[in-house]
Amino acid sequence: MSERWQKILKKLFSFILNIGADPEDSEYVRIVKRIYYGGSFFSLPLSLAITLLYFLSGDLVTASLFAVSFVFFSWFEVNGGLFPGNFDRNATYLVFYFVLAPFLITILKGGIWSANGAIYIGLLGPLYALLLPNKRKALIIFGLYVVLTIVIVLIQPYLSDSISEMTGLRLFLFWYGFLIITAFVFGGTYFFVFQRDKAYRLLGIEKEKSERLLRRIEKDLDQAATIQKDLLPKEDPILEGFDITGRNIPCYQVGGDYYDFIPIDGERLGVVIADVSGKGISASLLMASLRAALLAEVQQDYDIREMAGRLNDFVFKSSPMNSFITFFFCDINRQTGEFKYINAGHNPPLVIKDSGRFSNLESSGFALGMFPDANFETGRIQIESGDVAVLFTDGIPEGRNMAQEEYSDERLRNLVIDHRDLLAIQLSTKIFEDVETFMAGAEQADDITLVIIKRK
Q: Splitting the chain (456 residues) into consecutive groups of 10 residues, what average pLDDT does each group show?
A: 73 79 80 82 84 85 85 90 88 88 82 72 80 81 86 76 51 56 59 69 83 81 73 91 93 82 93 87 84 92 94 90 92 94 95 91 92 92 94 93 92 94 95 92 86 94
Q: Show Cβ contacts of residue 165 under 8 Å, excluding neighbours closer than 6 positions.
A: 113
User: What is the per-residue pLDDT for 308?
Assistant: 95
Alpha helix segments (H runs only) across 109-235:
124-129, 135-159, 168-231
Q: What structural domains and CATH numbers belong to the chain? A: 3-209 (no CATH), 232-455 (3.60.40.10)
Residues in the chain: 456
User: What is the per-residue pLDDT for 398?
Assistant: 92
C-beta separation of 453 from 414 below 8 A: no
User: What is the per-residue pLDDT for 9?
Assistant: 75
Residue 230: which of 203, 254, 263 has the closest Cα? 254
Q: Is 319 exposed, middle or buried (0-12, 13-18, 19+ CB in 10 A)?
A: buried
Q: How far is CA 202 from CA 199, 306, 444, in A?
A: 5, 59, 37
**What torsion, rounded to 10 degrees, do the Cα atoms 437, 438, 441, 442 define?**
-160
User: What is the per-residue pLDDT for 326?
Assistant: 95
Q: How far is CA 157 from CA 101, 113, 117, in A?
A: 21, 11, 16
User: What is the per-residue pLDDT for 98?
Assistant: 84
User: What is the per-residue pLDDT for 163?
Assistant: 46
User: What is the per-residue pLDDT for 164?
Assistant: 46
- Write phi, then psi, for 303 (nearest 5 degrees): -110, 125
d(CA 347, CA 363): 8
Residue 137: which of 92, 199, 94 has the closest Cα? 92
d(CA 93, CA 385): 89
